[in-house]
Chains A and B, each alone.
Chain A
Amino acid sequence: MLPAPFDYHAPETTEETLALLDQLGDEGKVLAGGQSLIPMLKLRFASPGHLIDINRVQGLDFLDERDATLRIGPLFRHKAAERSSLLASRYPVMAEAARQVADPIIRNRGTIGGSLAHADPAGDWGSVMLAMDAEFVLRSKGGSRNVKARDFFSGPFGTTLQPNELLAEIHIPATRGRSGGAYMKLERKVGDFATVGVAVHLQMDDGKVRSAGIGLTAVGPQNIKAEKAEAALRGQALDDATIKEAAALAAAAADPTSDQRGSVEYKRNVVRVFTERGLKRARDRAREGARG
């Protein structure tokens, strides 16, 4: 690897990190798992003047559920998500997404927070966060603000995160009642970015949908929340006709482009097929699963 020259910082506290971000502004780039940043440095697509490596900051790799909120730290890695029994039992959409992110080597290092801040429209976690109605805590030297996932993404590789801010925490409303989820991903090979991904997160009350979340991967300039499809499910019993209708609405919400992975028509169809299959899988899981 032969990147352009840069300075390297390894802060040991969050305060130190925020001070560096404040001081370096546009020239500073946070290094978490490095699974996107390092290849960009290698290809010289990115040449930040300073890298701020947060891996020595203690206590950033947490995952816990308290006060009706699932909280995730910025150094929580894909591999930890893949192995978490909490996610496997209560947040199947996350567990299923985790094991489909890239390949095992990348999952060992890469972080959920880093993936979200990188905001690749083909990244898997953005759709999962949209489906789960997550909220991000953005900290800076001066303070902290919370931004909903749906307000966070702004086009390809764009977010509302400011250069002086750190994505310090991810908050997800804890599931209640019977819930189920699924992450459907079409990839050309293990390690490839998604051709299409669909995240589905359902919460049920008395056999009816209390809330439905559907996030779409790689079919638009950013991860998409299929809000019309979600609305069509709310309050409904999940019969096949309702699922079909929601799947059609999700396909309509997709805004893909044609490339080597497939045509617009193809990708839209996969969104439809995956939404349908994902909803059925999530419904079955909600029926089988324990009450939260």
Chain B
Amino acid sequence: MAIETPLKGFIGESIKRKEDDRFIRGKGNYVDDIVLPGMLHMAILRSPFAHARIHSIDTTAAQALPGVVAVVTGKLLEQHKLAWMPTLSGDTQAVLATDKVRFQGQEVACVIATDPYVARDALPLIDVGYEVLPAVVDPSKALEPGAPVIRDEKEGQTSNHIYHWEAGNKGKTDDAFAKADRVVSLETFYPRCHPSPVETCGIVADVNPATGHATLYMTSQAPHAHRTLFAIVAGLPEQNIRIVSPDIGGGFGNKVPIYPGYVVATAASLLIGKPVKWVEDRSENLISTGFARDFHMKGEMAMRNDGRILGIRVKLLSDNGAFYADAQPTKFRAGLFHIVTGSYDIPAAHVVADGAYTNKAPGGVAYRCSFRVTEASYLIERLVETAAIELDQDPAELRVKNFIQPDQFPYKSATGFEYDSGQYEKALRLALDKVGYDELRKEQAEKRKKGELMGIGIASFTEVVGAGPGKHYDIAGLRMFDSAELRVHPTGKAILKLGVKSQGQGHETTFAQIVTEELGIPAADVEVQEGDTDNTPYGLGTYASRSTPVGGAATAMVSRKLRDKAKKIAAHLLEASEADIDFDHGKFFVRGSPSKSKTIQDVAFAAYTNLPDGMEAGLEGVTYYDPPNMTFPFGTYLVVVDIDRGTGQVKVRRMVAVDDCGVRINPMIVEGQIHGGLAEGFGIAFMELITFDEEGNCLGSNFTDYLLPTSWETPKFETYETVTPSPHHPIGAKGVGESATVGSPAAFVNAVIDAVGHLGIKNIDMPVTSDKVWTALKEAGAAE
């Protein structure tokens, strides 16, 4: 008998991550690890100004520096029709500035040199003649008549207005407000923050002048979509472009867009005929690549005095920066913000959104979030907290009163979503129980008598992840399906190739386990490959928690396809009728006589050696999966804080997180995702901020100013689960990568407001810094 490892990797088994061996040994292979013969290095000269006209660019001195091979400007790109490129939201973005610079840090020129030091040395030798223009940093002011027009190069663009978009039903919502006993309102700003993956963005572009083949090693969350966009933008034949996304050190949405650096490095390699590497530094990543959020939100809820929510009305203003480059499905101009009714059965809703250009970096990526769901979840959970204070009701019970009930699923929301499943009260009750809610409320009352400030914050969030269906959701027109190709070799070992791309999520383990579950091949015997467009089936990539809902479903479906064929082969081997063959955990046997069986490995060998007459050889297949709906993970997060009245410091004492992401494939990986997301949510709530001064200077351009939480200040997380399988996903799983970032900021802020609400403090915008808390306390007459 063969020796078996105790865990094969069936669903629900926390096997160790297969990919970690190479990561913990320092043997990962990232873009910056790639070195090609004759490779040149690129550095980017960036604008010091937020808004300025360019009168001249003199590159003579830079070009004269020994080691400099070329200096690329917008003028040169213009000759190749590459000075501008399309964005993911149908706008255009300057690759290298020709007429004006429109944000601080914008790409102006690139130096290509024989080593990266020389490339940097040459940057200050480029002489750019700027005429500084007034900067527009406030989106409200940007929309005022007479504001300087940032995008004056666009035909017909006479203001800074980008889009107007509405969701829901205005008439029904107005009626709900007319019938309301009272209106609860909250104006809040979800500030600009940044995904800041540990690995910054980069490329090694290798265009072979003899064959015309372009191999692009890129930090890409969506290599296939990027290949198509490169073909369209650069006019290269798509079959000649190979994008390889090697190991990726975190993405969080930051590696969804195509950045100017990728385009210039590719163009430079094409023109020079040598490989060109560009890897941005931390400051470049923070000041120029995809930011997130930056939503000014005004929310109102029509309420009955008993606490029932009758309707919700939201007015949004998004600050999109100098180019409208949000990464989101074409139909939805404010992403999926209209999920704003959250976990609640709110009969009427109306969302009005407008976007403004400002002199800031473009982006609008979903930082660990499914297209603006974070902003929506934050607003509704903050509104419910506000309502609880104003109605003097317990925030937990107020939520229970309004939850969508389990028997209402599938639930059609007032803005058009069809929620697949949920048990919201169950998750909330578990969180209350685990934290000891009633005791904490008693303690809070005691403390309040002594003048001490303690708060308990709740967020009962609902996520919407796993786009498509393709008929509703796309990226730049490409439908959001995904794919899996599975080959089982004669010895029973398999290769699974996917259209999605891990950036640390553990795909090599999770997706192998789906194959294990469906075919019985141990996860250790399933090699998962992603990221190379020459070797993997077409897919839309990994973001918006879509890999398990879509790529995972494709993996299950292709495994089942192979299982059907395997069953025929097993019947042949067992000399039985296919109808009499049963399958269980990797064994095919004749119904009623389990001793007569063949393993999947026996069958795989037979697929190449001993087939039934007329059957095609081999055991492989490919599936393109277009999901019938999104998945709707949910949960309740509960935070306990203590506040120092002398310094305004907020200390998180407890954080209880109950997540329901349906069936958990590898519970350890799911836990890891939740811990990471909670840490990011904590960072966003208390410290992460990209802000600008009046001249448009970015004040968050390195990690001493853009603060990321470390293990030192991050609270201990107490995690729990409920399991409500997705009814439409082949294995009942939902996406989980982003739930914690989406749900937790509101829980942290609600805890602070719960501590100070009785003093008349209604809101403190994120990041909730100690000076903001102290100032609010002082204004309320409650500071030490």
How near does chain B come to A1, taking the closest CB pair, in angstroms?
A: 9
Q: Are A103 and B712 in contact (CB under 8 A)?
A: yes
Q: Are A262 and B769 in contact (CB under 8 A)?
A: yes
Give the CA-CA distance A269 to B774 in the complex, in Å. 10
Residue from A190, A193, A270 in contact with B704 in the complex, judged by beta carbons closer than 8 Å: A193
In the complex, A145 has a CB within 8 A of chain B = no
Residue from A2, A5, A103, A266 in contact with B771 in the complex, judged by beta carbons closer than 8 Å: A266
In the complex, B121 has a CB within 8 A of chain A = yes
Residue from A2, A103, A193, A265 in contact with B116 in the complex, judged by beta carbons closer than 8 Å: A2
In the complex, B713 has a CB within 8 A of chain A = yes
Given A43-B283, A188-B707, A262-B770, are A273 and B646 also a contact pair (CB < 8 Å)?
Answer: yes
Residue from A44, A191, A195, A260 in contact with B710 in the complex, judged by beta carbons closer than 8 Å: A191
Give the A interface residue count (CB, 8 A). Answer: 26
**In the complex, per-residue mask of A113-129: 1 if CB is within 8 Å of any chain B CB, else 0:** 00000000000000000
Range, interface on chain B: 20 to 34
- Chain B residues, CB < 8 A from A261: 769, 771
Give the CA-CA distance A270 to B648 in the complex, in Å. 9
In the complex, B409 has a CB within 8 A of chain A = no
In the complex, B405 has a CB within 8 A of chain A = no
Of chain A, the residue at the smallest CB distance from B710 is A190
How near does chain B come to A279, taking the closest CB pair, in angstroms?
A: 14
How near does chain A come to B567, taking the closest CB pair, in angstroms?
A: 57
Q: Are B702 and A262 in contact (CB under 8 A)?
A: no
Residues B754-784 near A (CB distance < 8 A): 769-771, 774-775, 778, 783-784
Of chain B, the residue at the smallest CB distance from A270 is B647
Of chain A, the residue at the smallest CB distance from B713 is A189
In the complex, B717 has a CB within 8 A of chain A = no
Q: Are B691 and A190 in contact (CB under 8 A)?
A: no
In the complex, A186 has a CB within 8 A of chain B = yes
In the complex, B649 has a CB within 8 A of chain A = yes
In the complex, B699 has a CB within 8 A of chain A = yes
Residue from B281, B687, B770 in contact with A195 in the complex, judged by beta carbons closer than 8 Å: B770
Give the CA-CA distance A188 to B646 in the complex, in Å. 15
Q: Are B705 and A186 in contact (CB under 8 A)?
A: no
Which secondary structure dominates where chain B touches chain A?
A: loop
In the complex, A26 has a CB within 8 A of chain B = no
Give the CA-CA distance A263 to B773 in the complex, in Å. 12
In the complex, A4 has a CB within 8 A of chain B = yes
Q: Are B784 and A273 in contact (CB under 8 A)?
A: yes
**In the complex, per-residue mask of B428-440: 1 if CB is within 8 Å of any chain A CB, else 0:** 0000000000000
In the complex, B732 has a CB within 8 A of chain A = no
**In the complex, per-residue mask of A24-55: 1 if CB is within 8 Å of any chain B CB, else 0:** 00000000000000000001100000000000
Give the CA-CA distance A195 to B707 in the complex, in Å. 14
Given A5-B117, A262-B771, are A189 and B702 also a contact pair (CB < 8 Å)?
Answer: no
Given A189-B687, A266-B771, A269-B646, are A2 and B117 also a contact pair (CB < 8 Å)?
Answer: yes
How near does chain A come to B664, taking the closest CB pair, in angstroms?
A: 32
Give the CA-CA distance A273 to B699 in the complex, in Å. 28
- Chain B residues, CB < 8 A from A16: none
Given A43-B702, A190-B713, A261-B771, are A266 and B648 also a contact pair (CB < 8 Å)?
Answer: yes
Q: Are A189 and B769 in contact (CB under 8 A)?
A: no
Given A2-B117, A103-B712, are A263 and B771 also a contact pair (CB < 8 Å)?
Answer: yes
Q: Are A270 and B646 in contact (CB under 8 A)?
A: yes
Of chain B, the residue at the smallest CB distance from A1 is B281
- Chain B residues, CB < 8 A from A262: 769-771, 774
Of chain B, the residue at the smallest CB distance from A260 is B699
- Chain B residues, CB < 8 A from A266: 648, 771, 774-775
In the complex, B709 has a CB within 8 A of chain A = yes
- Chain B residues, CB < 8 A from A274: 647
How near does chain B come to A103, taking the closest CB pair, in angstroms?
A: 7
- Chain A residues, CB < 8 A from B778: 265
Which secondary structure dominates where chain A touches chain B?
A: loop
In the complex, A12 has a CB within 8 A of chain B = no
Give the CA-CA distance A2 to B121 in the complex, in Å. 9
In the complex, A65 has a CB within 8 A of chain B = no
- Chain A residues, CB < 8 A from B708: 189
How near does chain B come to A4, taking the closest CB pair, in angstroms?
A: 7
In the complex, A284 has a CB within 8 A of chain B = no
Residue from B647, B691, B713, B771 in contact with A273 in the complex, judged by beta carbons closer than 8 Å: B647
- Chain B residues, CB < 8 A from A269: 646, 774, 783
- Chain B residues, CB < 8 A from A15: none
Given A5-B117, A186-B647, are A260 and B783 also a contact pair (CB < 8 Å)?
Answer: no
Q: Are B704 and A186 in contact (CB under 8 A)?
A: no
Residues A170-203 near B (CB distance < 8 A): 186, 188-193, 195
Residues A256-282 near B (CB distance < 8 A): 260-263, 265-266, 269-270, 273-274, 277
How near does chain A come to B74, taking the closest CB pair, in angstroms?
A: 24
Q: Are A2 and B710 in contact (CB under 8 A)?
A: no
Residue from B646, B712, B775 in contact with A190 in the complex, judged by beta carbons closer than 8 Å: B712
Q: Are A186 and B713 in contact (CB under 8 A)?
A: no
Residues B517-540 near A (CB distance < 8 A): none
Q: Are A186 and B649 in contact (CB under 8 A)?
A: yes
Give the CA-CA distance A266 to B649 in the complex, in Å. 12
- Chain B residues, CB < 8 A from A277: 646
Of chain B, the residue at the smallest CB distance from A190 is B712
Residue from B121, B283, B707 in contact with A189 in the complex, judged by beta carbons closer than 8 Å: B707
Give the CA-CA distance A3 to B281 in the complex, in Å. 12
Give the CA-CA distance A260 to B692 in the complex, in Å. 11
- Chain A residues, CB < 8 A from B691: 260
- Chain B residues, CB < 8 A from A195: 770-771
How near does chain B come to A218, taking the closest CB pair, in angstroms?
A: 13
Give the CA-CA distance A275 to B574 in the complex, in Å. 85
Q: Are A103 and B710 in contact (CB under 8 A)?
A: yes
In the complex, B401 has a CB within 8 A of chain A = no
Give the CA-CA distance A40 to B281 in the complex, in Å. 14
- Chain B residues, CB < 8 A from A103: 710, 712
How near does chain A come to B263, taking the closest CB pair, in angstroms?
A: 22
- Chain B residues, CB < 8 A from A43: 283, 702
**In the complex, per-residue mask of B115-132: 1 if CB is within 8 Å of any chain A CB, else 0:** 011001100000000000
Q: Are A189 and B117 in contact (CB under 8 A)?
A: no
**In the complex, per-residue mask of B704-725: 1 if CB is within 8 Å of any chain A CB, else 0:** 1101111011000000000000
- Chain B residues, CB < 8 A from A2: 116-117, 120, 281
Give the CA-CA distance A25 to B691 in the complex, in Å. 40
Given A5-B117, A260-B691, A266-B771, are A192 and B704 also a contact pair (CB < 8 Å)?
Answer: yes
Q: Are B709 and A189 in contact (CB under 8 A)?
A: yes
- Chain B residues, CB < 8 A from A270: 646-647
Give the CA-CA distance A265 to B769 in the complex, in Å. 15
B649, B687, B699, B771 — most chain A CB neighbours (10 Å): B771
How near does chain B come to A130, taking the closest CB pair, in angstroms?
A: 22
Q: Are A188 and B687 in contact (CB under 8 A)?
A: yes
Q: Are A4 and B121 in contact (CB under 8 A)?
A: yes
- Chain A residues, CB < 8 A from B687: 188-189
Q: Are B775 and A263 in contact (CB under 8 A)?
A: yes
How near does chain A come to B151, taking the closest CB pair, in angstroms?
A: 29
Give the CA-CA distance A193 to B705 in the complex, in Å. 10
Residues B278-323 near A (CB distance < 8 A): 281, 283
- Chain A residues, CB < 8 A from B707: 188-189, 192
Of chain A, the residue at the smallest CB distance from B649 is A186
- Chain A residues, CB < 8 A from B647: 186, 270, 273-274
How near does chain B come to A172, taking the closest CB pair, in angstroms?
A: 29
Give the CA-CA distance A274 to B710 in the complex, in Å. 25
Of chain B, the residue at the smallest CB distance from A44 is B120
- List 11 A–B pairs whose Cβ atoms lie within 8 Å, in order of A's numbering: A2-B116, A2-B120, A4-B121, A103-B710, A186-B649, A189-B687, A189-B709, A190-B713, A262-B769, A266-B648, A273-B647
Using A43-B702, A186-B770, A260-B699 as known contacts, list a sample of 11 further A-B pairs with CB atoms less than 8 Å apart, ordered by residue number in A.
A2-B120, A2-B281, A5-B117, A189-B687, A189-B708, A190-B710, A193-B704, A260-B691, A260-B705, A266-B648, A269-B774
- Nearest 3 interchain pairs by C-beta: A262-B771, A273-B646, A190-B712
